[in-house]
Amino acid sequence: MDNKEIWQSILAQVQLSVSPAIFATWFKSTNIISIKNGEAVVAVPNYLSKEWLEQKYRKQMIGFLREFDESIREVFFQVIQAPINTQHNKNKRLAPSATTGQLDFEEFKFNKETNLNPKYKFDGFIVGLHNELAHAAAKAVAEKPGDNYNPLFIYGGVGLGKTHLLQAIGNEVSDNFKNKKVRYIPMEKLTSEIIAAIREGKIENLRTKYLDTALFIVDDIQFISGKERTQDEFFYIFNTLYNKNLQIVLSSDKAPKAIPEISDRLRSRFEGGMIADVSLPDFETRVAILKIKCQQLKISFPDDIISFIASTVQSNIRELEGVLTKFIAHTKLKNLAPTTETCKEILSSFNPKRIINPKRIIRETVNFYDLKEKDVLSESRKKEIVKPRQIIMYLLRNELNASFPFIGRKIGNKDHTTVMHAYKKISSQIKEDESLQQEINILKQKIYNS
Ligand code: ADP
Ligand code: MG
């Protein structure tokens, strides 16, 4: 395992323990320069990062590094400024430095014009019940930007594939329509651009920068909440693009209705096109995602390991990937055979609060439908009890991959054929009944976040 792989594995662990914003701000553009004589040197892009990491994360970093090399006693952060972006090094990896031989700044994989990361494509994006609608809408928009749904508004919790989908639309349009200008920007960045433009009296420049964008993608629009002046400016840009039939795609962690402190006129614009949510992937989809990630990493694991990871990490695809990376790194480093035992050991540090079990599914479902646990475990055939009972059976199967007899035992000693029937029934109903689908999605969020 080389230094680069070690660092990637450490970053994967960090990603599991800090918020996405902290990760993006302080860790994403770091890299390892060297490990020798018990000292690790880490490249950071600026002095602010250096100070911040030294003060807040030095100890934690040493801890992570020591997992790979016990001789490490200290970590130093060294500012390595990215070179000016000339035609020559555009889109190319940063040339390996003579002293380190291995710099590879993440940022350099981004296209500087569009701000897109080419790794996010439709190809490699797994479609399941949890993202079917969002995916279909994204595809439709990518085929005919400006023609189908405007704006397309995708919302859902952290790590569920919103950025991936947004960027996939951008990449596809960039590839297929060479003359269409595409821009991707996170709302936090757009906010600072707007504030700076206002302060410097250059708002016209900013407007011109965005006004001929055929596909304008703004990620995490919820950050506009409470920022009045930014909202006004965004409203202006939005309207101009919209009136020219140029495509707008937005993402948010909440539905437009639920974003606090935004003006009514902006909210109604957000609601004016297509709104699609992404929710939690079920077990089968989690397996499919892990498989495709393994394929991309050119690695293969026995099915029981994949199932084990998929059944343990349930709430977030980013974590699912993080655990997989961590597992790969550990087995490689320590030359361990990839067994479920090794996997269990590695996952033992995983926050157990997030791990759901049958008890939790039953408890949350019962609360959700305002029933008592003994009701669903009983033999009652009352409609208001039968449905939640069937939903519990469906969730036990889908989320935990539990066997039919096991589910039968958990739900008041029912026969496994009863369970199979319930599972089939809910599975087919959910495909036709959108409100049932939404109901179950909300329930799932409750189960995972309780
Ligand atoms: P969000 O923006 O919703 O927080 P991301 O788009 O950043 O989530 O997704 C987190 C990680 O999970 C990314 O690495 C992404 O590639 C991966 N991912 C999410 N959904 C899928 C999917 N359906 N298929 C494959 N990978 C996915
Ligand atoms: Mg995102």
Q: Is residue 363 very low, low, confident or very high in pLDDT (cuts 50, 70, 90)? A: very high
Report whether residue 186 contacts ligand 1, using a CB cutoff of 6 Å.
no
- The neighbouring-strand residues paired with 183 are 216
Question: How many CA atoms does the CB half-sphere of 113 hold within 13 Å?
Answer: 13
Give the DSSP letter of residue 77: E
* 355 confidence band (pLDDT: 50, 70, 90): low
Global pTM reads 0.67
Q: Which pLDDT score, from 0 to 100, does residue 177 have?
A: 96
Task: Report the pLDDT averaged over residues 152-175.
Answer: 96
pLDDT averaged over the chain?
A: 86
For ligand 1, what atom is nearest to the CA of residue 278?
3
Q: Distance (Å, rounded) from C-alpha 438 to C-alpha 436?
A: 5
The pLDDT-based confidence of 166 (bands split at 50, 70, 90) is very high
- pLDDT at 82 (0 to 100): 59
Model pLDDT, residue 96: 33
Mean pLDDT of 331-338: 79
CA distance readout (Å), 396 to 164, 375, 405, 410, 420: 28, 18, 11, 9, 12
Q: What is the mean pLDDT of residues 8-16?
A: 80
Residue 162 Cβ contacting ligand 1 at under 6 Å: yes
Q: Name the closest ligand to CA 218.
A: 2
Atom of ligand 1 nearest to the CA of 158: 4
Q: Is the distance from CB of 326 to CB of 8 less than 8 angstroms?
A: no
Cα-to-centroid distance, 156 and ligand 2 (Å): 10
Whether 332 shows a pLDDT value over 90: the answer reads no
CA nearest ligand 1 atom 23, residue: 126
Nearest atom of ligand 1 to the alpha carbon of 131: 23
21 lines ligand 1 (CB under 6 A): no
pLDDT beyond 80 at 94: no
Would you place residue 327 in the very low, low, confident or very high pLDDT band (cuts 50, 70, 90)?
confident
Residue 100 or residue 40, greater confidence: 40
Burial of 229 (0-12, 13-18, 19+ CB in 10 A): exposed
Torsion angle defined by CA atoms of residues 156, 137, 118 and 196, in that order, rounded to the nearest 10 degrees: -60
Indicate whether 437 pLDDT > 90: no
Average pLDDT over residues 13-30: 77
Q: Residue count of the chain, please give it.
A: 450
For ligand 1, is residue 149 a contact (CB within 6 Å)? no
Statement: residue 108 has pLDDT above 80: no
Does residue 322 line the site of ligand 1, with CB under 6 A?
no
Burial class (CB in 10 A: 0-12, 13-18, 19+), 251: buried
Pocket flag, ligand 1, residue 45 (CB < 6 Å): no
pLDDT for position 25? 74
Q: Whose CA is nearest to atom 9 of ligand 1?
A: 161
Of all protein residues, whose CA lies closest to atom 25 belonging to ligand 1? 125
Of these ranges, 45-49, 177-181, 355-359, the one predicted with the greatest mean pLDDT is 177-181
Q: How far is CA 433 from CA 193, 425, 426, 437, 440, in A?
A: 43, 12, 10, 6, 11
Q: Inform me whether the pLDDT recorded for 3 exceeds 60.
A: yes
Give distance in angstroms: CA of 231 to centre of ligand 2.
Answer: 20
Does the Cβ of 317 fall within 6 Å of ligand 1? Answer: yes
Q: Output the CA 131–ligand 1 centroid distance in Å.
A: 11
Which residues, in sequence order, are bridge partners of residue 34? 41
Q: What is the pLDDT of residue 89?
A: 37
Is the Cβ atom of 125 under 6 angstroms away from ligand 1? yes
Out of 41-45, 198-202, 237-241, 397-401, which region has the weakest mean confidence (pLDDT)?
A: 397-401
In contact, 257 and 246? CB cutoff 8 Å: no
